[in-house]
Chains A and B, each alone.
Chain A
Amino acid sequence: MTLAAMELIDVKRSIGNKEIIKGLSFSIYKGEVFGFIGPNGAGKTTTIRMMVGLMKLTDGDIHILGNSIKTNYKKAVREVGAIVENPEMYPFMSGWQNLMHYARMIPGVTKDRINEVINLVGLEKPIHDKVGKYSLGMRQRLGIAQALLHKPSVLILDEPTNGLDPAGIREIRQYIRKLAKEEDVAIIISSHLLSEIEQMCDRIGVIKNGELISIQDVGEQASVDNLTKIQVEVTPLEKAKNLLKEHYDIETIVMDNGLSFQGEKEKIPAIIKTFVENDCSIYQVSVTKGTLEDQFFELIGENTIE
């Protein structure tokens, strides 16, 4: 197994006596786009603040290319580029001056490199305008440019799609995929909107109330069988419902004129047979594949902020 670009080891964080992050452990690898999903207040931003050294860990450790953020801060953070929450820049300076400002803080960032990232995020035209005049989307792009200046191994983007129009989101999606593939960067993207980042991620980690409740490969989700949603138009409803409960231990939801439940596709013929044998009339059977979005809501349940 290759060295993880970033590894979280049982990361905990309390504020006062409230535990906000309750032991996160996961790794992100080079060339991978990792989606960090959770409802408001789940602890995404807090985790990201700890990843970049803005907040201290109460317990656990974070390694970036093997360097601990606690004991080897400078080396660890050299490999990180990030935007944390809103992409705030100096409003009285131009985009170019802002980038120069950050470039001076890290050795080896050339003017060519600055122009390169400006091209990448498509800010050539307004780069010499004052940032105070930028739209949110333009600032978001400048934020990403700033994070890429020093060719980091790990790119952390906290809600980068916030404030972008659909075209902007598609563009970001494209260059994030490109960065991961061509430059082998490990990318962490947080969002509370799964649909926005689903398509650009290789893996999705779901966080709720400071706990990681699931990590899933995006490619694999199609074969997750229990997510196949089966709807059967059948009468009498009550009888059919009880049959499913008795024979297959499946809970069903009674709909207008049918039953809806989740189950494996392979079981459908057997279920139909059971219905027929017990004198139930079947009018229609339909199967819909659950999207990741359904899965997400299933995982996080009601969106209650503790």
Chain B
Amino acid sequence: MSRMLKLIYNEQLKIYIRKSTWAMYIILGVIIIGLAVMTNSFGELGEQYQGDDWQEVLQQENKELQKEGEEDEFVGSLNASIIEENNYYLDNNIQPTPYGAWQFLRENMLLLSVVSLLTIIIAAGIVANEFRWGTIKLLLIRPISRSGILLSKYISVLLFALFTSIFVFLFSFIIGAVFFGVEGMNPSIVSNEASGYTTISLIPTIFSEYGYSMVNLVMMTTFAFMISTVFRNSALAIGTAIFLMMAGNSIVGFFQDKEWAKYILFANTDLSQYADGRTPWIEGMTLGFSITMLIIYYVVFILLSWLFFTKRDVAGQ
């Protein structure tokens, strides 16, 4: 076991010692700060509702929206939903929560697709680069099975994904707190769910949303890792994985009416489609079905990687 830890340590070292990895973190950091600056300048921060007269402010706003809406049909339909939300606050006597670090964090969940992108780049290189550098020879002539080496590399990729997600999570919260303050320890917000406007508790929502997007992250990472080991080519792995990540939803949409569409990986990666009150993409799909499909894809990816890595000769390029 301690041997495996040392192998993982080696792999982590080879990831984090390189400047390109640090550049990834710097880019993420800059994006997060940039988003905070933009939200601060143009966003709806809800400061006007923080006084004791918040009900009057809301009513006043509703009146203006109503008037605006009567002039233009399109604006009217947009304003109608804001009025509805404002009425929900008034009817239930809930003072709107100000914008803060938690809400900023929730919005930054979109950055997990950037994390996926970076993890795909790491996964694509972790095996292929050893072949490109020629270091694979010195790596494999040790008293360690090839399966052990491969496992240490796979775990390292997952650790990179984890560390980078944690970085996004923590850094977003910190930057959010610096720019907007923290809404409290257990803030709740009003959100437009399938069942209409309801109050939801923010922190559990954030965790479940981040959790759901981990499924896609792990699957795409494993896919890139597989291409990297099978073809020993990182550019190919990055290309195909990023293409599929971007096009995944369109692919499902395109084949939606086909019988077999539900067997496409990307029809199953968003498990939040089974959350309360939502309807799955394709009729007849269930949580159990999706989990089974995910496991099948996962096992196939891992098995292919393992077969190609352990069985193939390491001859000249």
Contacts and interface: CB of A to CB of B under 8 A. Distances in A.
Interface string B25-53: 00000000000000000000000000000
B14 interface: yes
Interface stretch (B138-146, B273-281, B285-293): B138-146
Contacts of B145: 73-74
A78 B143 contact: yes
B313 A84 contact: no
B3 interface: yes
A45 to B, nearest CB: 8
Contacts of B260: none
Contacts, number: 77
A106 B142 contact: yes
Interface string A70-85: 0001110110101111
A123 B145 CA distance: 31
A84 B314 CA distance: 11
Given A74-B145, A77-B143, A93-B17, A54 B6 contact: no
Interface residues of A, number: 34
B69 to A, nearest CB: 60
B141 A104 contact: no
B138 A104 contact: no
Interface in B134-175: 134-135, 137-145
Contacts of A45: 316
**Which of B10, B17, B135, B142 counts the most A-chain CB atoms under 10 A from its CB?**
B142
B13 interface: yes
Given A101-B10, A105-B10, A107-B3, A88 B141 contact: no
B314 A90 contact: no
B231 interface: no
A52 interface: yes
Interface string B172-202: 0000000000000000000000000000000
- Which 6 residue pairs spanning A and B have beta carbons closest together? A88-B134, A78-B143, A54-B314, A105-B142, A104-B6, A74-B143
Interface of B: 3, 6-7, 9-10, 13-14, 17-19, 133-135, 137-145, 313-316
Interface of A: 15, 45-46, 49, 52-56, 73-75, 77-78, 80, 82-86, 88-93, 97, 101-102, 104-107, 146
